[in-house]
Amino acid sequence: MANGDKRDYYEVLEVNRNASETEIKKAFRKVAVQHHPDKNPGDKAAEEKFKEASEAYEVLSDPQKRAQYDQYGHAGVSGAGGFQGGGFGGFGAGTPFGDIFGDIFGDIFGGAGGGGGRGRAQGRRGDDLLYNMEISFEEAAFGVEKKIEVPFAKRCVTCNGSGSKPGTDPKVCPTCRGAGQVRYQQGFFCVSKTCGQCNGEGKVVDNPCPDCRGKGSTKDTKTLSVKIPGGVETGSRLKVTGEGGHGKGGPNGDLYVAINVKDHAIFQREENNVICEIPISFIQASLGCELEVPTLDGKVAMKIPDGTQSGKIYRLKGKGIPSLQGYGRGDQLVVIRIETPTNLNKKQKELLEEFAKISGEDVYPMKKGFLDKVMDFIS
């Protein structure tokens, strides 16, 4: 087909010109499943549409080719189509079709896709398990080792994991004849998929064990010791390999520990920094003072200079959260909050009024600066 006779690639896949890679892949998968030659034997029109969509996908799924096509049209990618000549070219290693055709085969042949040549099925992998763990602020900062009880499936002692009633044995699966997979010859392709009768195990149980009901495993609990590294935060997930559900003829699943950190009475976390708000009196702020400031490592003496304003932040280097990557620590940010006295008696009020009379405006630099700005604004 001459370049001038070709349809626009975006029109072929029915996507916008600003479509994402995911949208392009999804659109191609839809067209390919609908018009695949093995699903439409003898239908030349379907075969042509399949080739046309595959050519469009090969160009639009490659950022460099797509840029050339967007700028120059078909002339910019002349010869890029994956179906030059008489065979199904462009399906080899390194083409953009490798990550998508397994799914397409699955839709064509009615199940989870699988490429040819995978060999004998490896059985079923166990389920992944999720455990929600709540830890304290300090435990999240420095790490902790916790013992947890988790459910697991252990080999049934009655049938020794076979799933069959004692005295009987599983039989070879009549569908796959013990291979665990069945093969389909479809046109140009030979596709294998997991046997639906034995679930890839190659055997079926006619007389199930009364204790495990043919599963080969029974439920139990086990105690695990889980090390939580310092620096985790709420939302962190730790993976414990192989401690999930029992695999039947395949590997066990994994255990995921989801972390939730309790709120702290005086500390807050901001990335790897710890924030601590310290209330002081206006007398302490005016005259200066020395405070005992709590940190994750214990109390630290800190001098507050005279004239300190509310909201002033002082930094204690290296007193924050250790890095989860294992190097360095954040800082502790001490935020000063000046507390206004309440429930003053008569004598205290008189002294404050006298103080106000003799102070003038010079002792309130923030107030004076603000009033100056107001005057400039309204003048």
Give pLDDT tens digits for 314-368: 999 999 999 887 788 999 999 999 988 888 899 988 888 888 888 765 556 665 5
Residues 59 and 9 sit within 8 Å (Cβ to Cβ): yes
What are the φ and ψ backbone dihedral angles of 129, each rounded to 5 degrees?
Answer: -115, 150
Q: What is the pLDDT of residue 117?
A: 39
More reliable by pLDDT, 135 or 123: 135
Strand 289-295 relative to strand 298-304, pairing: antiparallel
Q: What is the pLDDT of residue 69?
A: 82
CATH homologous superfamily of domain 129-261? Heat shock protein DnaJ, cysteine-rich domain (2.10.230.10)
Q: What is the pLDDT of residue 249?
A: 65
Residues 253 and 244 sit within 8 Å (Cβ to Cβ): yes
Strand 144-155 relative to strand 217-228, pairing: antiparallel
Confidence bin at 278 (pLDDT 50/70/90): very high
Confidence bin at 146 (pLDDT 50/70/90): very high
**Which CATH number fits the domain 3-109, given the four candidates 3.20.20.70, 1.10.287.110, 1.10.10.10, 1.20.58.110?**
1.10.287.110
Residues 10 and 25 sit within 8 Å (Cβ to Cβ): no
More reliable by pLDDT, 33 or 309: 309
What would the two tokens of residue 97 be? Answer: 């079709």
Strand 332-339 relative to strand 313-316, pairing: antiparallel
Q: What percent of the chain has pLDDT over 90?
A: 26
Q: Where are the domains of the chain?
A: 3-109, 129-261, 267-373
How many C-beta neighbours within 10 Å does residue 89 have? Answer: 13
Confidence bin at 95 (pLDDT 50/70/90): very low
Confidence bin at 150 (pLDDT 50/70/90): confident
Distance (Å, whole) CA 24 – CA 378: 60
| H helix count then E strand count, the chain | 9, 15
More reliable by pLDDT, 198 or 291: 291
Place of tokens 């076979």: 162
More reliable by pLDDT, 371 or 184: 184
Residues 6+ away with beta carbon under 8 Å from 330: 271, 272, 273, 274, 320, 321, 323
- For residue 229, give the DSSP letter: P
Distance (Å, whole) CA 134 – CA 228: 11
Confidence bin at 370 (pLDDT 50/70/90): low
Q: How far is CA 15 from CA 7, 19, 120, in A?
A: 13, 6, 39
Mean pLDDT throughout 58-76? 82
What would the two tokens of residue 189 be? Answer: 């392709």
Distance (Å, whole) CA 112 – CA 182: 12
Residue 274 has pLDDT above 90, yes or no: yes
Q: Residue 165 region, left (φ>0) first, then alpha (ψ -120 to 50), else beta?
A: beta
DSSP assignment of 22-84 equals HHHHHHHHHHHHHH-TTTSTT-HHHHHHHHHHHHHHHHHTSHHHHHHHHHHGGGGGTT--TT-
| Mean pLDDT, rounded, of the chain | 79
Residue 81 has pLDDT above 50, yes or no: no
Q: pLDDT, tens digit, for every residue of 303-324?
A: 999 989 999 999 999 999 998 8
Which residues make beta-bridge pairs with 260?
A: 134
Domains 3-109 and 129-261 share a fold: no
Q: Which run of H or E residues covers position 132?
A: strand 129-135
Mean pLDDT throughout 233-244? 88
Distance (Å, whole) CA 43 – CA 62: 29
Residue 280 has pLDDT above 50, yes or no: yes
Mean pLDDT throughout 274-294? 91
Q: What is the pLDDT of residue 243?
A: 85
- For residue 7, give the DSSP letter: P
Distance (Å, whole) CA 95 – CA 63: 13
Q: pLDDT, tens digit, for every residue of 245-272?
A: 777 667 888 889 999 999 999 999 999 9
Give the pTM: 0.53
More reliable by pLDDT, 238 or 182: 238
Q: What is the pLDDT of residue 64?
A: 84
Mean pLDDT throughout 91-119? 45
**Which CATH number fits the domain 267-373, given the four candidates 2.50.20.10, 3.40.50.1820, 1.20.1280.260, 2.60.260.20?**
2.60.260.20
